[in-house]
């Protein structure tokens, strides 16, 4: 048996172990996933701002602008939002009635899911484990402006992306 044959046999062993692992972990497979935004819930800007403020306060890392400073920005680097790495898993889906589900983030009411989404969430909640997390979008940002040949700072309204998964 040559050196190549040893590596080849080790590779096939790992493949067979991985396939048996995936069969046993099928019970943890994603059954349904969806993405919801604050706009889907018709949330007002003031509520979104309050939730973002709470998320920033609770975040232990506070890695603003993904760790970049003004000196890091070049014409090749895309814009970086101050809070783009801020997330939370403090998301609650409170079923009020069939087709009526309230969404709370950081214990602040964001709004009600549209009826069809609420029915979908409710049907999966009965049988599967819910995992949800929220990312901040928008807000203050920095970017390199080629026309001014300088780094500029600006801001756009905050938004929230909510990712929901059932396993």
Instruction: For residue range 62-109, list pLDDT tens digits in order.
Output: 999 999 999 999 999 999 999 999 999 999 999 999 999 999 999 999
Is 15 a residue whose pLDDT tops 80? no
Distance CA 64, CA 75 (A): 20
- Strand pairing partners for 141? 81, 154
User: What average pLDDT does the segment 136-162 reach?
Assistant: 97
Would you call 113 exposed, middle or buried from its count of C-beta atoms within 10 A (0-12, 13-18, 19+)?
Answer: buried
> In this model, does residue 27 exceed pLDDT 90?
no
Looking at per-residue confidence, does 19 or 122 come out higher?
122
Q: What is the pLDDT of residue 36?
A: 97
The predicted pLDDT at position 2 comes to: 52
pLDDT over threshold 70, residue 12? no
How much of the chain, in percent, has pLDDT values that exceed 90?
81
| Mean pLDDT, residues 109-124 | 96
Per-position DSSP letters for 31-72, written without gaps between them: -EEEEEETTTTT--HHHHHHHHHHHHHH-SS--GGGG--GGG
Whether residue 7 has pLDDT greater than 80: no
Report whether pLDDT(130) > 50.
yes
What is the mean predicted confidence (pLDDT) over 130-141? 97
């Amino acid at each position: 048996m040559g050196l190549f044959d040893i590596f080849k046999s080790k590779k096939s062993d790992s493949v067979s172990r991985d396939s048996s692992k995936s069969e046993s972990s099928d019970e943890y497979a994603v059954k349904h996933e969806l993405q919801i935004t604050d706009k889907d819930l018709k949330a007002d800007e003031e509520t979104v701002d309050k939730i973002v403020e709470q998320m920033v306060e609770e975040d232990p890392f506070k890695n603003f602008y993904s760790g970049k400073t003004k000196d890091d920005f070049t014409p090749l680097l895309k814009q970086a939002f101050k809070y783009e790495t801020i997330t939370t898993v403090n998301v609650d889906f409170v079923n009020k009635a069939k087709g009526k589900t309230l969404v709370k983030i950081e214990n602040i009411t964001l709004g009600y899911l549209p009826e069809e989404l609420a029915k979908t969430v409710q049907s999966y909640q009965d049988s599967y484990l819910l995992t949800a997390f929220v990312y901040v979008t928008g807000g203050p940002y920095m970017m390199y402006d080629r026309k001014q040949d300088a780094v500029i700072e600006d801001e756009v309204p905050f938004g929230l992306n909510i990712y929901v998964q059932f396993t």
